[in-house]
């Protein structure tokens, strides 16, 4: 049986690692072989291998032919076609920092005219240290060290299999203990190690008489050559990951001494100069001594760049340093924000930046020293500062950062990227671990918000003209009542050991609330029947993200304990402007007085009903909005963990009476531009 799908790529970054991962996972759940041909490039790849899919260099608007052959081809074709349709919904915007204008210098430095080179910022901040130039290991260097000896093919293959198994297990173990960016990178490396096309290419070279060393390097070089041909910078930057895995696989197969030590031993604070650094090499460097980096050939989206940003290491790119005369004894300066490297700073410049670093360090220390202090304004008005999370690992990080609770657990994340829904055992175990980690602090579990931009295949929600206005979140619960009830049961089971709360997304009417309450009560009854412990007084809340709720607060408040504004969705529904559509981003306006008045009305109504109200959209992390949100009367703000120390610090500098005055004045304004001025925002 054979099926053909014609496909035009609608993804603006093309088929890069993430969509390729979705396609690979789906195709591997079928027996049928899936061959992906990009008509523009003429390149073909197996869709069961993410790497070989990426290597077809499928970019925006490329036409492709996908041939599916095998007994279950028809079924595979229909699932794949459905997935391809949905791919644009998985697109994420990268978190790259915006660039300060070229040539920008701090005003007080301009007249000293320091000798500087303009590069591009990868990660901001200031570094002062001596330079240390390091050579990146290339495939040619590695190939030059290939051992002469070749064992019979069967023996080479056996040791390859063992080596891959050991490396894979090491990555799986590392996944358990790492969080955030490091976790994502290990996941990406794991998918290269287990990539079927990569493995078959190595085997192919072994069958042609090569030993493991040469076979691994040749296969990796072939892949990198194809990735390098891509016109997408993002795809090109994956070559560093393939190089990284090559080194790791060879040292697993041939021992640690087979290649020069991958780590970089620093003995004094240094600014590292290199063309590029693999993520592993970067991770092995002592961060106490790593002042900054100049990576001349490293792009913004390489994994090393992402790591440097997440660890706050000032880093520049686009500086061709080989032509520079770098004196190893001469201190130099990176000013990451404008993206400049100051080569031979005079005393005045050094004094300026030393002072700048001292100020930044004191602020940072104050922030970190106080992260576990209660969040309140200078005059003692408390505003609970909580975290938005989607996994146990993030809960851990959140409490380290000083979160006073979890204001939003996006539970749908454990329903996505898989072929079947999670079961009760999995969810109750996860929720219990999070609640125990919270040590009595509140954890708000938002029941699954599937649909809209977060489809899951196995629920078969169907195609919709307007998914954001369609079958999403609470609206799907009546059809999937058992799944909803199972999730409620898992949350209730966690409530036996800590402070778990339930929150329902996308509520639009009191009737929906009543229906959810009824399910909650029936789940409680079934737990009683099974003699399973739970908190009978568990709080039930709703997200306020559909504008109709603002006008139904008194009747809804009779049946719930709290409200949390989902400002991301509330703004999109309030202005009828898609939250992900950049063409209407000026309509999606959080500064609009009309929007702020709607928020104020909601806060006042909720308080009048004797209940509490928080906010868990992106707005909650904005220091610009903080005085206004505090002054309007929000009881809680929930945000990503990394924003918590800064927001808590900023809150402590505020005076509540002044915040209230600011809110009153701002709500009387009639233009967004005036609101921006009132909030002292220069745009
Ligand atoms: C929101 O809409 O503001 C929100 C927090 O929910 P999500 O972003 O998950 O839709
Ligand atoms: Mg929402």
What ranges do the domains of the chain cover? 2-88, 111-136+263-366, 139-254, 379-681
Measured from the Cβ of residue 28, the count of other Cβ atoms closer than 10 Å reads 13
Q: How much is the average pLDDT of 73-84? A: 90
Q: Which ligand is nearest to the CA of 388?
A: 1
Q: Once rounded to an integer, what is the mean pLDDT over residues 540-564?
A: 98
Which range has highest mean pLDDT (31-45, 183-197, 254-268, 492-506)? 492-506
Mean pLDDT of 520-535: 97
> For domain 111-136+263-366, which architecture applies?
3-Layer(bba) Sandwich (3.50)
Most confident residue range from 97-111, 158-172, 173-187, 538-552: 538-552
Which residue is catalytic, options 22, 616, 649, 659? 616
In DSSP terms, which residues pair with 451 in a beta bridge? 454
Q: From the CA of 656, how far away is ligand 1's center (Å)?
A: 27
Q: What ligand 1 atom has the least distance to the C-alpha of 505? A: 6
Please compute the mean of the pLDDT values over residues 337-341 and round it to a whole number: 87
Mean pLDDT of the chain: 89
Residue 490 to residue 431: CA distance in whole angstroms? 7
Q: The domain at 379-681 falls in which architecture?
A: Alpha-Beta Barrel (3.20)
- Does residue 35 carry a catalytic annotation? no
Q: What pLDDT, on the 0 to 100 scale, is given for residue 406?
A: 97
Nearest CA to ligand 1 atom 6: 566
Which of the two residues, 186 and 442, has the higher pLDDT score?
442
Q: Is domain 2-88 classified as CATH 3.30.1340.10?
A: yes
User: What does the pLDDT read at residue 263?
Assistant: 66
The pLDDT assigned to 5 comes to 94
Ramachandran category for residue 125: left, alpha or beta (phi over 0 → left; psi -120 to 50 → alpha): left
| d(C-alpha 170, C-alpha 192), whole Å | 14
Q: Which residue has the higher pLDDT, 500 or 1?
A: 500
Report residue 397's pLDDT band, with 50, 70 and 90 as the boundaries: confident
CA-CA distance, 121 to 293, in Å (whole number)? 11
- Ligand 1 contact via 412 beta carbon (within 6 Å): no
The pLDDT score that the predictor gives to residue 96 is 38
pLDDT band at 681 (very low <50, low <70, confident <90, very high): low
Residue 646, strand partner residues:
none
- What pLDDT sits at residue 178? 74
Length of the chain: 683
Q: What percent of the chain has pLDDT over 70?
A: 94
Atom 1, ligand 1: residue with shortest CA distance: 566
The pLDDT of residue 582: 66
Q: What is the pLDDT of residue 565?
A: 98
What is the 567 CA–ligand 1 centroid distance (Å)? 7
- The active-site residue out of 22, 303, 381, 649 is 303
Instruction: Decide if 62 contacts 84 (C-beta within 8 A).
Output: no
Q: Which phi and psi (to 5°) does residue 658 adopt?
A: -70, -35
Which residue's alpha carbon is nearest to atom 9 within ligand 1?
Answer: 410
Least reliable range by pLDDT among 273-287, 501-515, 655-669: 273-287
| Confidence band, pLDDT 50/70/90 cuts, at residue 367 | confident
* DSSP bridge pairs for 159: none
Cβ(614) to ligand 1 under 6 A? no
Q: How far is the CA of 507 from the centre of ligand 2 (A)?
A: 10
- Nearest C-alpha neighbor of 299 from the set 316, 283, 312: 316
Token digits for 5?
């799908």
The stretch 126-144 carries a mean pLDDT of 91
Phi-psi region of 180 (alpha: psi -120 to 50; beta: other; left: phi over 0): left
How far does residue 484's CA lie from ligand 1's centre (Å)? 19
**Mean pLDDT of all residues in 33-50:** 88
Same fold, 2-88 and 111-136+263-366: no
* Structural tokens at position 69: 């052959």
Distance from C-alpha of 397 to C-alpha of 374, rounded to nearest angstrom: 17
Please say if the pLDDT value at position 13 is more than 80.
no
Q: Is 545 in the pocket of ligand 1 (CB under 6 A)?
A: yes
CATH number of 139-254: 1.10.274.10
Pairing of strands 2-8, 63-69: antiparallel
| Residue 149 or residue 519, greater confidence | 519
- Does residue 616 carry a catalytic annotation? yes
Q: What is the mean pLDDT of residues 598-623?
A: 95
Cα distance between residue 393 and residue 112, in whole Å: 48
């Amino acid at each position: 049986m054979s099926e053909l799908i014609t496909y035009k790529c609608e993804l603006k970054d093309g088929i890069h690692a993430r969509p390729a991962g979705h396609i690979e996972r789906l195709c591997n759940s079928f027996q049928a072989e899936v061959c992906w041909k990009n008509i523009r490039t003429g390149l073909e790849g197996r869709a069961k291998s993410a790497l070989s899919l990426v290597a077809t260099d499928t970019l925006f608007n490329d036409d492709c032919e996908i041939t599916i052959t095998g007994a279950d081809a028809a079924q595979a074709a229909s699932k794949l076609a459905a997935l391809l349709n949905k791919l644009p919904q998985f697109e994420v915007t990268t978190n790259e920092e915006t660039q300060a204008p070229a040539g920008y210098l701090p005003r007080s430095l301009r007249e000293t005219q320091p000798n500087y080179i303009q590069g591009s910022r990868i990660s901001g901040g200031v570094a002062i240290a001596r330079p240390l130039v390091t050579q990146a290991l290339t495939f040619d260097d590695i190939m030059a060290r290939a051992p002469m000896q070749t064992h019979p093919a069967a023996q080479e293959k056996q040791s390859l299999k063992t080596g891959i198994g050991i490396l894979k297990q090491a990555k799986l173990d590392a996944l358990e203990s790492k969080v955030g960016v490091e976790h994502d990178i290990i996941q990406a490396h794991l998918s290269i190690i287990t990539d079927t096309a990569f493995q078959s290419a190595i085997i192919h070279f072994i069958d042609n008489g090569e030993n493991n060393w040469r076979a691994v390097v040749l296969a990796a070089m072939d892949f990198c050559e194809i990735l390098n041909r891509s016109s997408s910078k993002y795809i090109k930057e994956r070559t560093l990951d393939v190089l990284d895995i090559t080194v790791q696989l060879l040292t697993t197969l041939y021992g640690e001494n087979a290649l020069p030590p991958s780590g970089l031993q620093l003995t004094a604070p240094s600014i590292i100069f290199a063309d590029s650094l693999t993520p592993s090499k970067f991770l092995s460097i002592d961060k106490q001594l790593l002042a900054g980096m100049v990576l001349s050939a490293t792009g913004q989206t390489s994994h090393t760049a992402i790591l440097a940003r997440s660890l706050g290491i000032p880093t520049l790119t686009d500086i061709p340093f080989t032509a520079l005369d770098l004196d190893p004894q001469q201190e130099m300066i990176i000013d990451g924000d404008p993206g400049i490297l100051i080569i031979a700073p005079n005393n005045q410049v050094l004094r300026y930046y030393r002072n700048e670093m001292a100020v930044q360090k004191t602020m940072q220390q104050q922030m970190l020293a106080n992260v576990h202090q209660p969040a309140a304004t200078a005059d003692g008005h408390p505003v609970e500062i909580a975290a938005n999370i989607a996994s146990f690992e993030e809960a851990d990080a959140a409490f380290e950062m000083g979160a006073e609770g979890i204001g939003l657990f996006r539970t749908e994340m454990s329903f996505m990227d898989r072929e079947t829904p999670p079961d009760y055992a999995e969810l109750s175990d996860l929720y219990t671990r999070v609640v125990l980690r919270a040590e009595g602090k509140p954890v708000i579990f938002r029941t699954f918000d599937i649909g809209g931009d977060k489809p899951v295949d196995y629920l078969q929600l169907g195609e919709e003209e307007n998914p954001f206005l369609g079958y999403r979140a609470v609206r799907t619960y009546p059809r999937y009542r058992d799944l909803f009830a199972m999730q409620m049961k898992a949350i209730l089971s966690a409530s036996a050991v800590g402070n778990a709360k339930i929150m329902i997304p996308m509520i639009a009417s009191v009737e929906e609330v009543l229906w959810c309450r009824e399910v909650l009560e029936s789940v409680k009854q079934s737990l009683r029947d099974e003699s399973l412990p739970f908190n009978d007084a568990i709080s039930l809340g709703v997200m306020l993200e559909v504008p109709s709720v603002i006008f139904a607060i008194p009747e809804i408040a009779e049946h719930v304990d709290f409200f949390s504004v989902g400002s991301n969705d509330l703004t999109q529904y309030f202005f009828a402007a898609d939250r992900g559509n950049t063409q209407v981003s000026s309509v999606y306006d959080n500064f609009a007085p009309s929007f702020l008045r709607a928020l104020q009305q909601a806060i006042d109504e909720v308080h009048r009903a004797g209940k509490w109200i928080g906010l868990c959209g992106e707005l909650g992390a904005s220091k610009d909005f903080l005085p206004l949100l505090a002054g309007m009367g929000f009881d809680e703000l929930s945000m990503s963990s990394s924003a918590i120390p800064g927001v808590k610090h900023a809150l402590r500098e505020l005076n509540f009476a002044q915040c209230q005055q600011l809110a009153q004045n701002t709500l009387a304004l009639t233009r967004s531009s005036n609101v921006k001025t009132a909030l002292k925002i220069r745009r």
